[in-house]
Structure 1
Amino acid sequence: MKRKVFLSTTFKSLLFLLFSFIYTLLPLQAQQLYQPAEQLGELFEQVQLQSVFPDSKTFPDATPLASPDEILQAYQQQKDQPGFDLRTFVMNNFEMPPQPAADFRSDTSLTVIQHIEQLWPVLTRQPGNDAGSLIPLPNAYVVPGGRFREIYYWDSFFTMLGLQASGETELIQNMVDNFTHLINTTGHIPNGNRTYYLSRSQPPFYALMLRVLAQQKGKEILTNYAPALKKEYDFWMEGANTLNAANPAHRRVVRLPDGSILNRYWDDKPEPRPESYLEDVHLAQESGRNPEELYRHIRAAAESGWDFSSRWFSDANSLGTIHTTDIIPVDLNALLFHTEMTLAQMAEMQGNKAEAKRYEQRAKERQKALLKYAWNEADDFFYDYDFVKGTTTNIPTLAAVFPLYFCMAKRKHASAVAQKIEADFLKPGGVVTTLNRTGQQWDSPNGWAPLQWMTIQALRNYKHTRLADTIARNWTRRNIEVYQATGKLVEKYNVEDLTLEAGGGEYPNQDGFGWTNGVLLKLLTLHPELLQTTEQEAVLQR
């Protein structure tokens, strides 16, 4: 595929870092970013509780046409007047969020690769069009699609895999620089570039993004981003030095009985999520639990990206029993192991052997602790660890492949995990996320692109090539068959019953779709025979 010619890596990186440094001199608050739930108060609450819009995300994404204070004052003056209509008031005072690419029509005579290549510009957003709750970014970026009109943290790594296959190095650079900008201006990478996402992050894939960029521009580029990666790591590890037996947990860090430090997901605000306000309030009412406690667990699960899944439920079935902050997730800690190893490599490249040894030691300690606490000898499988109960959750999920992806596991662990994946998770359309049917979107019967990629590559690391090939073949066939039938690539797929669409969760299955496009294109680029086989099968079926 054709590649483009760009400015030198060194000059462009230094230019960006200079811009980012200058920008950090202004605190984020100085940008006067719009916070819909906080600034609109009662108006925001009533719009959400009265279901003025079918999707709770619509109103937080709307742009006020006057200052929030003026709109709120007008609402207070008019709300009790005869004939007042809340929806009319909102439509008169807010610009509704755009519906991107509403006029895009798929041409199913194109191959799926050609289709994805056409989608990249459709899903790309330019800086300068930011308004409302959007956090401005300095460079172009790719959004997932559908209702997701902003970047998302962990989505973007999998999207980058496809951009890499397309030779879109400049766009990868732009997205890495955007995330670096967010670290430098907000102190971390938020869930997405919306103000209502600032209280949480998502699975820490930044170090992996840097490696994709380094594959394109040379590993020397890694050192340019060492300061930002350190800041992100410090965000996840904040408070680790304050932990003790009497105070074993703080924000995202947890001290285990043997003194080991591992991480959990967290969110700083024990409130309903603005983008899912009605759903969270209703759940709190139905569960009968302390609302603030419930909201904290809900938001922590949103930080995990698995919102929602039975892996977070104490009864493995109902959302009302969610207890995310009690859980040390196996995938999160594998990702932070990789972050520590990347920081060690960066320090080594900079000639700082003491710092390299320090980060490498932290990675080794994390690996030892994860193998101790997350590996269940009886079941021969990696589970999340409930540090409150002092035991593994024993809920099988594809998070178990993450230690294999980062080569943290021993060969006996990898063989046992592979055996269970093949016996229980492998389905006609790929691998299923969990073995539980709860109606949640991160449970059976759904399969998701990021977890297919992590599973396939994890198995390849330990030479379970046949199983990896089977999963890749099943998944790519499922994606292509749906594309040929509908002209769409979607957020998630039913991998068990190929006659049905994926479902569950708080919103309909979305079209677009960033990480589906990225993983599919990367797999087809690495294994072109997958496309040829699927096309031949389609011809035979006709």
Structure 2
Amino acid sequence: MFALACQDRSSKPDVLKVNVDTTLSDLEYDEDTDQDKKITIEDTADKVFEVKTKDGNEVSIESTYHLSNLLQELARAKNESLTEADIKMSRVEEEPADRISRLIKTKYWDNLTRQVDKPGLERILTDTKASDSTMRRLYVPSTDSVGIAYFKSIEKDFKNFKVVVLPQNITPEYVKSINDKPGILSLKLKNGKGVPFVVPGGRFNEMYGWDSYFEGVGLNIDGRQDLSKAMVENFAYQIEHYGKILNANRSYYLTRSQPPFMTSFIRETYESTDENDTLWLKVMTRAAMQEYFEVWMEDGKKLTSNGLNRYFAEGIGIPPETESGHFDEQLAIYAEKYNMPISKFTEAYQSGNLPSQNQVKSDLSLPSLDDYFLHDRSLRESRHDTTWRLDGVCANLNTVSLNSLLYKYETDFAYLIQTYFDDSLTYDNQTFDAQYWLDKAEARKQLVNQLLWNEDDKVFYDYNFVTQSHLIYESATNYYPMWAELVTSEQAEHLKNRLLATLKAKGGILASSKFSVEKFATSDVARQWDYPNGWAPHQMLIWKGLMNYGYDDEAQELIYRWLWMITKNAVDYNGTIPEKYDVVSRTHKVYAEYGNVGTKFDYITPSGFGWMNASYQYGLSLLNEDLKTKLNQLVEPEVLFTP
């Protein structure tokens, strides 16, 4: 159990009047033994520090947590250029869950906010992903006359900066041609200013698709519908001008969409306020309908012949956002058959100048490599980049997750039309009533149950429509149907039991099971969307899914386990809130292919991580009062819940 480790509180002043530089320097010297500008459980000092106040008193502060809070408060004062400061003891001794939640609400969301306009570009254009070695670029759709005029007018205000107007027809060939000319894509302007958005973490400067929805959940709880509505509007802009909600607004994502959450984003944002802006709601709903029909329901691409959907990200060649050498293991197979070094083979493949087939050592079909990268791009479109579940097969799968999300679109459209538009909404010269969408949802439900439900295991699995078989892989995504309210109460009981038996860990829900990774992994590479890691989106969807079917006690336990892990990690590591966790060891020290974002900072974590912040606020909003008290005391989950 966590307990205050300072001396008797009654003997302490409410405010410590200190010299900022001297106190900060002394604290670092005394307690930051590894000199990383943080005070953590890995520092080897005695964790007792005497604060010398301006009025000549000495106040003893003890424990890693309280000392790290003191460090953060001093650093904030220094950042404000204060020579002397009044450090409130209420901040030093603040309850840990309360502190995390307060900082998310009052600091982190604003620190994660960006906008694409002249002031915003001052920061965005420092990002290396916005430029090559010599030129920084902003790409603007040819259909956005307002954006073209605005950005052309400020082009001269930035050094080595170019505004590029995209062609009307954006093809995979065009996107490949600008891979060596990277840049950011413009977003919506309103009243001469960029419409703001929240980025995933401090090192990001672009708006990511599904991240935005989960961030929106937290923003709505914290009363920041100004940002939630703005991000929905940026989604609508992307649909109108880029033809899809982008993976992110970078040039190399122009052929790639992302998991569809827009109707949930619209509905939850609209209904979290007392506003009655039905015009906004109508415009946003029509934009979501455009995405549904034009992105997801085009035959032969994301819609398969069996009536269900798949991820299918168009493009040519190697995904440009990956680091050098990422695909060497796969490319080596082909390079060996062509009797070429990997570097030469890669160059030839990317340029389309491979030797003819009769020069290959054995029978080799080049499209199989093209197919591999189709699957890889589609995997990235699913945002599970990467997992052994989807490796080399993603575009052949009717995934449980995607079809659950589209079922939610269909039921959301029915609800919105019936509730707010008098059961009639016109889009593209066609009038829709609620029954149209309910029929769509029912047809999808029948197909999901027919093709994705596994009667033996009593769970949903992704369906390979090429081999006409289930991909037997234990994944958190198998439980999206409970969030979408697609299942019967009998199915929900089976799913709940299966979930807790296969994916519950000490820190929450696993992205996938150890058994599945061991079965499907073809190398020892640790994929970040697999065991032993856990992710905020999975937790949030599964909590809501369980509660949809009355499993409140199970949801409370999972929420507590997740929040306890975040809180304990922040207490032990100077407020660190990372992108993901190892939920088996309950640590932010994740050694997967991309490491962990949000763990490197000096003194203060400035912004946490977007969907991790949201999961914290969402979890607290659902947690009962007794468990909130125990969370602040850091009572171990094992004390409260049976295995």
Report the TM range for the smaller structure's normalisation: 0.7 to 0.9
Which of 393-402 and 433-442 deviates more? 433-442
Residue 148 of structure 1: how far off its partner (Å):
2.9
Aligned amino acid, residue 210 of structure 1: I
Give CA-to-partner distance per residue, 1:399-429, whole Å, 9 cap, x none: 1211111111011111111001111211110
Confirm or deny that 1:429 pairs with 2:499.
no
Once residues 333 and 285 of structure 2 are traced to their aligned partners in structure 1, the CA distance between those partners, rounded to angstroms, is 44
SS in 1 for 2:294: helix
Q: Determine the structure 2 residue equivalent to 1:464.
A: 551
Q: Determine the structure 2 residue equivalent to 1:28.
A: none
Residue 384 of structure 1: which of 442, 462, 466 is its match?
462
Q: Determine the structure 2 residue equivalent to 1:340.
A: 410
Where does 1:120-519 land on structure 2 (aligned, <5 Å)? 120-128=109-117, 129-130=120-121, 131=125, 132=137, 133-137=183-187, 138=189, 139-215=195-271, 216=273, 217-218=275-276, 220=278, 221-240=280-299, 250-256=300-306, 261-276=307-322, 278-288=324-334, 290-313=368-391, 322-348=392-418, 349-352=421-424, 355-356=432-433, 357-436=435-514, 437=517, 439-486=526-573, 487-498=575-586, 501-511=589-599, 512-519=608-615
Contact 1:236–1:253 at 8 Å: present in 2 too? no
Aligned amino acid, residue 331 of structure 2: Q
CA change 1:347–1:485 in 2 (3 A) is same
Contact 1:143–1:514 at 8 Å: present in 2 too? yes
Once residues 377 and 219 of structure 1 are traced to their aligned partners in structure 2, the CA distance between those partners, rounded to angstroms, is 46
Confirm or deny that 1:115 pairs with 2:103.
yes
The runs of 5 or more residues in structure 2 that have no matched partner are 1-75, 81-90, 126-136, 138-182, 190-194, 335-365, 426-430, 600-607, 638-643
Once residues 375 and 287 of structure 1 are traced to their aligned partners in structure 2, the CA distance between those partners, rounded to angstroms, is 36
Give CA-to-partner distance per residue, 1:454-480, whole Å, 9 cap, x none: 111101111112211110010000111
Which of 130-139 and 178-187 deviates more? 130-139
Aligned amino acid, residue 206 of structure 1: M
Residue 279 of structure 1: how far off its partner (Å):
4.2
Aligned amino acid, residue 591 of structure 2: G
CA change 1:539–1:504 in 2 (3 A) is closer
Residue 358 of structure 1: how far off its partner (Å):
2.2
Once residues 502 and 509 of structure 1 are traced to their aligned partners in structure 2, the CA distance between those partners, rounded to angstroms, is 10
Give CA-to-partner distance per residue, 1:64-109, whole Å, 9 cap, x none: xxxxxxxxxxxxxxxxxxxxxxxxxxxxxxxxxxxxx9x999x876
Residue 537 of structure 1: how far off its partner (Å):
2.5
TM-score of the aligned structures, taking structure 1 as reference length = 0.73
Aligned amino acid, residue 239 of structure 2: I
CA change 1:234–1:399 in 2 (3 A) is same
Q: Determine the structure 1 residue equivalent to 2:46.
A: none
Give CA-to-partner distance per residue, 1:31-89, whole Å, 9 cap, x none: xxxxxxxxxxxxxxxxxxxxxxxxxxxxxxxxxxxxxxxxxxxxxxxxxxxxxxxxxxx
Contact 1:154–1:205 at 8 Å: present in 2 too? yes
CA change 1:114–1:379 in 2 (3 A) is same
Aligned amino acid, residue 245 of structure 2: I
Residue 273 of structure 1: how far off its partner (Å):
1.4
The Cα RMSD (Å) is 2.5
TM-score of the aligned structures, taking structure 2 as reference length = 0.62
Equivalent residue pairs, number:
418
Aligned amino acid, residue 189 of structure 1: I
Aligned amino acid, residue 419 of structure 1: N
Aligned amino acid, residue 476 of structure 2: L
The runs of 5 or more residues in structure 1 that have no matched partner are 1-100, 241-249, 314-321
Contact 1:330–1:374 at 8 Å: present in 2 too? yes
Give CA-to-partner distance per residue, 1:229-248, whole Å, 9 cap, x none: 111102333433xxxxxxxx
Which of 518-527 and 217-226 deviates more? 217-226
Confirm or deny that 1:535 pairs with 2:607.
no
Task: Report % sequence identity.
Answer: 28
Give CA-to-partner distance per residue, 1:177-202, whole Å, 9 cap, x none: 11111111111100011111111111
Contact 1:459–1:467 at 8 Å: present in 2 too? yes
Once residues 235 and 187 of structure 1 are traced to their aligned partners in structure 2, the CA distance between those partners, rounded to angstroms, is 8
Quick check: which one's helix share is greater? 1
Give CA-to-partner distance per residue, 1:172-226, whole Å, 9 cap, x none: 1111111111111111100011111111111001111101211123584532322
Runs of 4+ in 1 over 4 A off after TM superposition: 107-110
SS in 2 for 1:417: helix
Contact 1:182–1:189 at 8 Å: present in 2 too? yes
Give CA-to-partner distance per residue, 1:113-133, whole Å, 9 cap, x none: 122121111111133134431
Q: Determine the structure 1 residue equivalent to 2:84.
A: none
Which of 383-392 and 286-295 deviates more? 286-295
CA change 1:291–1:500 in 2 (3 A) is same
Residue 135 of structure 1: how far off its partner (Å):
1.3
CA change 1:208–1:359 in 2 (3 A) is same
Contact 1:446–1:503 at 8 Å: present in 2 too? no
Once residues 538 and 375 of structure 1 are traced to their aligned partners in structure 2, the CA distance between those partners, rounded to angstroms, is 39
Contact 2:580–2:588 at 8 Å: present in 1 too? no
Give CA-to-partner distance per residue, 1:261-311, whole Å, 9 cap, x none: 110001110321111152454243135483311111110000001111122
Give CA-to-partner distance per residue, 1:141-191, whole Å, 9 cap, x none: 110114432111101111111111111111111111111111111111000
Aligned amino acid, residue 342 of structure 1: D
Residue 344 of structure 1: how far off its partner (Å):
2.7
Once residues 505 and 223 of structure 2 are traced to their aligned partners in structure 1, the CA distance between those partners, rounded to angstroms, is 32
Contact 1:152–1:191 at 8 Å: present in 2 too? yes
SS in 2 for 1:311: coil
Aligned amino acid, residue 287 of structure 2: A
Q: Determine the structure 1 residue equivalent to 2:619.
A: 523
CA change 1:327–1:199 in 2 (3 A) is same
Aligned amino acid, residue 160 of structure 1: G
